[in-house]
Amino acid sequence: MRVRMRSTVALTGALALSLVAGCAKGGGAGAGANTVTYWLWDSNQLPAYQACAKGFEKENPGLDVRISQMGWDDYWTKLTASFIAGTQPDVFTDHVQKFGQFADLKVLEPLDDLGIDPAAYQSGLADNWIGQDGHRYGAPKDWDTVALFYNTKMTKAAGLTPQQLDALSWNPKDGGSFEKAIAHLTVDVHGRRGDEPGFDKHHVKVYGLATGGGGDGDGQTQWSNFAASAGWSYTDKKRWGTKYRYDSRTFQSVIKWYFGLAKKGYLAPLTDYSAGANPANAQVAAGKAATAFDGAWMISTYYAMKGIKVATASTPVGPTGKRATMMNGLADSITKNAHNKQGAKKWVRYLSSDACQKIVGRYGIVFPATLAGTKAAVAAYRKKGIDVTAFTRPVADKKDFRTFTFPITNNAADVYALMHPAMQGIFGGDKSVTSLDQTNGQINLILSQ
């Protein structure tokens, strides 16, 4: 009951914000019996799904799909508010980190009757959307992994070849060849590299590695690949864990080393990220960082940078002998009180089919969840002259790679509220990694209630 009450308070706060911001255009309220409303947040994907809508409408005469797109932050604020106000869309793009809270609030429609076959999608994607009650609440949509983007001019000037960058390894004691490479790519205002005598870590012109912030509780494009390749997992279970493990000495040794790169001057400081809301790709685009860990959804953004040529390398090999990367997968969910539930089910069935996913794949923006959709995306990227092997290899090579998902638990909002300041305090402040013991205890107390 306390869990439900906390979530309700959060939703009420979101409603207040939405009343100030105004309702999302094209929401569920007022939609006709022949209209299916659909929300998504990625503007880059909007044209692909508009094309899918045309295909769907052709196959389903009399049914129209009304798509609304909004930015990430506005999206979740307005979506949670819509569940209270009764203006929810029929279908929306869902994220596994939000899934637990929505399932707990019972605002999602079970999708067991859609006939989703897990074998039709990349391994593990379909299973992520099974709730604690055994029902399915999401149809696989797309997936992504993380790799190392690098400025080819800078790496060449540093004498680092693509082969060397793709063979890096690391450990929490001395950082391995990864830290050596990042140090060598770092250049101070006097032209000295990070591994040269007299290097001035307080006046750095180019950082070896861009910062993506503190990483909160998941560290998707920051520290997650290091923690996982050291053998750590977020929770005690793969899905619906009951205890988080931020108090693990393995995890804390990884965090101490990773944020320690900033203290040495090799990793861009937190202020480069938070002061100007400057994401990792912007640091690379501005020539302020030589490399950045980022997700597959950012491929087109990096390769579109003016005056900068980039390439990608796999995440480094860790102490376990494996590389690791988060493999996130989005899904499409139907709201419990959808205004056109039957039309919504037809639309979601179409969205998760090869028919739509091959269309999306041909746009070369994301990797669709079906095998055929992924194949179409790889071909589209190849046509653009972009090699996406660093992102697709982890999915196929289970011997050398470990893939993992966001932690799927209840109370994701509470975990964020506690871990965000905790990680910021370690990265940008003077907090010790052992302070995570207390934070972890608070999180697990909430999960136990």
Both tokens assigned to 288: 């302020």
pLDDT in tens, 187-227: 999 999 999 999 999 999 999 999 999 999 999 999 999 99
Both tokens assigned to 80: 């949670």
Rounded Cα distance, 219 and 241, in Å:
18
Q: Mean pLDDT score of the chain, rounded to an integer? A: 92
φ, ψ dihedrals at 148, nearest 5°: -100, 110
Rounded Cα distance, 240 and 255, in Å:
24
CA 124 to chain centre: 16
Put simply, whether the predicted model's pTM sits higher than 0.85 gets the answer yes
pLDDT in tens, 276-318: 556 999 999 999 999 999 999 999 999 999 999 999 999 999 9
Three-state DSSP string of 369-435: CEHHHHHHHHHHHHHCCCCCHHHHHHHHCCCCEEEECCCCCCCHHHHHHHHHHHHHHHHHCCCCHHH
Written as one letter, the residue type at 435 is S
pLDDT in tens, 246-278: 999 999 999 999 999 999 999 999 999 865 556
Q: Which fold has domain 2-144+329-386?
A: D-Maltodextrin-Binding Protein; domain 2 (3.40.190)
Rounded Cα distance, 96 and 94, in Å:
7
Q: Using alpha carbons only, what angle is made at residue 93 by residues 60 and 339, rounded to the nearest 5 degrees?
A: 55
Provide the CB-side half-sphere exposure for 167 (13 A, CA): 5
Rounded Cα distance, 189 and 210, in Å:
17
pLDDT > 90: what percent of the chain? 88
DSSP state of 440: H
Where does the chain hold its CATH 3.40.190.10 domain(s)?
2-144+329-386, 146-326+411-448
DSSP state of 302: H
CATH number of the domain at 146-326+411-448, out of 3.60.15.10, 3.40.50.2000, 2.60.110.10, 3.40.190.10? 3.40.190.10
- State the average pLDDT over residues 396-407: 95
Indicate the burial class of 362 (C-beta count within 10 angstroms; 0-12, 13-18, 19 or more). Answer: middle
With a cut of 80, say whether residue 160 has pLDDT above it. Answer: yes
Q: Rg (Cα) of the chain, in Å, rounded?
A: 22
